[in-house]
């Protein structure tokens, strides 16, 4: 994701770092380089002009006169400007006071609406919501089947109905009310280009459904086309937010960096792959850090620190350094992590983490209770040294905790995964200039 942009910015940071102080000439040179990088990344020229102007002004202005090194100051300025460009605040979807919350997805053909509909349903499910999917695409014969297949995959009902799309969508709302489902996601038909038929159909749907959120789904790889089309959709439908899909294949990032500035609407989610789990909530500050080559380690650090008290993290750090994590630690971690939300979102922030394929490591309440009972049924020795747990010990632990040996195995497997993770964390290098920059 955004490799080209990242490489460009990392080179600039390196260049500025080598300079003794910020002068008019090296700021000019750095800014010239930024201009080239942004244009090559297909960022809108108006955005580039604004970005360059503000960065130059700040870099040459009074703000520079601090005790930081020029590299730090300049990087911080670029970081702030990137955050500004990406939207500063992360935006959440609106929730209806009387359920269901209706979210309508619009966008051109092939932009990823249907895929995103399923990803969003899963996202809601993971947050204890009960979503329903409905498609108003009656033009493409396979559209309905595609959604049904995805719905089945994640266990979300797909409402089907007659050919009248307005009636179908409204019936879907009734279905949600009747069955106490609190979220309705409406997938719509895309066209190759913006045309009057599609726009008036969407306008009509909006009138009938009164959706709480209209999300414009754009293929991030299409760069400025995505930005221009977003503008057109916004004019007619007044969208609430933007979803950029296929960011996994977008090395340039032109759409990501221009769309907020040009349309005034924020990016809410990004799609990072074809699979259902390949979805990220969009955080401008984290994205800016990513672009500047700092990975999301800073985000990780913030999140972890907010929950773990200093003493605890010091203790954990020592254990991680020594590579000694016991099952007691594991249990403590589970409880701490539970407070932080889905554990995957934490793992996703670790650069290169997807390699470990540990997506299924989520903590839910029931599982936590079970894991607790299992670990508490172990002897002190077993907890300190889980590798001694053999078949008969497993049986005894299962009996003692009212679970099965398979449950015991699951807890142990997750524990070993955590051990593996801490080993990989140990290898991560935290850039030394983080704290200096106030990140
Ligand atoms: N790599 C990648 N592929 C994606 C992503 N999101 C969707 N796709 C792929 O893009 C293609 C089109 O996705 P759909 O979800 O069918 O697009 P759509 O907007 O519903 O298309 P229409 O219904 O024809 O308007 C599919 O092959 C998806 O697998 C993503 O985030 N990353
Ligand atoms: Mg579709």
* pLDDT digit string, tens, across residues 369-403: 888 899 999 998 898 888 899 999 999 999 999 99
| CA 111 – ligand 1 centroid, Å | 5
Ligand 1 and 136: CB distance under 6 A? no
What is the number of the ligand 1 atom nearest to the C-alpha of 273?
A: 32
Q: 165 CA to middle of ligand 2, Å?
A: 14
- Average pLDDT (2-17) is 85
Residue 262 contacts residue 234 (beta carbons within 8 Å): no
Indicate whether 40 pLDDT > 70.
Answer: yes
Determine the average pLDDT of the residues in 315-331. 72
Q: Is the pLDDT of residue 20 over 70?
A: yes
Measured by CA distance, the residue closest to atom 3 of ligand 1 is: 274
308 pLDDT band, cuts 50/70/90, is very low
Q: Comparing 131-140, 378-387, 422-431, which segment has the lowest mean pLDDT?
A: 422-431
Whole-number Cα distances in Å, 251 to 7, 42, 221, 344, 350? 10, 10, 8, 24, 19
Q: pLDDT of 87-105, one tens digit each? A: 877 788 999 999 999 999 9
Asked if 125 and 184 touch (Cβ cutoff 8 Å), the reply is: no
Q: What are the beta bridge partners of residue 158? A: 133
Among the bound ligands, the one closest to the CA of 219: 1
Question: Which of 107, 115, 122, 278 to mutate to test ligand 1, by most ligand atoms within 8 A of the CB atom?
Answer: 115
Confidence of residue 188 (pLDDT cuts 50, 70, 90): very high
Answer whether 183's CB lies under 8 Å from 128's CB: no
pLDDT of residue 6 exceeding 90: no
Q: What is the pLDDT of residue 317?
A: 67
User: What does pLDDT average to over the chain?
Assistant: 83
Would you say residue 296 has pLDDT above 60? no
Q: Please give the model's pTM, rounded to 2 decimal places.
A: 0.70
- pLDDT confidence of residue 337: 62
* End-to-end Cα separation, the chain, in angstroms: 22
Is 59's pLDDT higher than 50? yes
More confident residue, 302 or 153: 153
* All domains in the chain, ordered by first residue: 3-86 (1.20.120.140), 101-291 (3.40.50.300), 297-427 (1.10.260.30)
More confident call, 154 vs 335: 154
Report the alpha-carbon distance of residue 389 to residue 410 in Å, rounded. Answer: 13
């Amino acid at each position: 994701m955004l490799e080209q942009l990242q490489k460009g910015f990392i080179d600039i940071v390196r260049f500025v770092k080598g300079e003794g102080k910020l002068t008019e000439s090296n700021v000019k040179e750095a800014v010239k380089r930024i201009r080239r990088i942004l244009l090559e990344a297909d960022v809108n020229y108006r955005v580039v002009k604004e970005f360059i102007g503000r960065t130059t002004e700040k870099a040459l202005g009074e703000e520079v006169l601090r005790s930081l090194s020029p590299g730090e100051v300049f990087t911080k300025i670029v970081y702030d400007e990137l955050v500004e460009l990406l939207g500063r605040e992360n935006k959440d979807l609106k929730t209806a006071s009387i359920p269901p919350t209706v979210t309508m997805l619009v966008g051109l053909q092939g932009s990823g609406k249907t895929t995103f509909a399923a990803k969003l349903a899963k996202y809601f499910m993971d947050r204890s919501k009960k979503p329903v999917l409905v498609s108003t695409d009656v033009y493409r014969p396979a559209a309905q089947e595609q959604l049904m297949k995805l719905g089945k995959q994640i266990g979300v009902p797909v409402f089907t109905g007659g050919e009248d799309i307005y009636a179908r969508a409204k019936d879907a709302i009734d279905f949600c009310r009747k069955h106490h489902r609190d979220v309705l996601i409406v997938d719509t038909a895309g066209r190759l280009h913006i045309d009057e038929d599609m726009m008036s159909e969407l306008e009509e749907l909006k009138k009938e459904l009164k959706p709480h959120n209209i999300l414009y789904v754009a293929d991030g790889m299409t760069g400025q086309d995505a930005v221009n089309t977003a503008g057109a959709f916004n004019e007619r439908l007044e969208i609430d937010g933007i979803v950029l899909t296929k960011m996994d294949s977008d090395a340039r990032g032109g759409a990501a960096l221009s769309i907020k500035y040009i349309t005034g609407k924020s990016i809410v989610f990004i799609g990072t792959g074809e699979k259902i789990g390949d979805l990220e909530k969009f955080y401008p500050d984290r994205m800016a850090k990513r672009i500047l080559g700092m990975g999301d380690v800073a985000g990780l650090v913030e999140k972890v620190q907010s929950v773990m008290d200093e003493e605890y993290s010091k203790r954990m750090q020592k254990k991680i350094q020594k590579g000694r994590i016991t099952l007691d630690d594991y249990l403590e971690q589970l409880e701490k992590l539970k407070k932080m939300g889905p554990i995957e979102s934490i793992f996703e922030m670790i650069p290169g983490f997807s390699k470990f394929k540990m997506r299924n490591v989520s903590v839910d309440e029931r599982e936590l209770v079970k894991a607790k009972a299992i670990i508490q049924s172990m002897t002190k020795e077993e907890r300190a040294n889980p590798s001694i747990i053999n078949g008969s010990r497993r049986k005894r632990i299962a009996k003692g905790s009212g679970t099965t040996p398979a449950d015991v195995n699951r807890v142990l497997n997750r524990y070993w995964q955590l051990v593996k993770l801490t080993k990989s964390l140990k290898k991560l290098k935290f850039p030394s200039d983080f704290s200096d920059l106030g990140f």
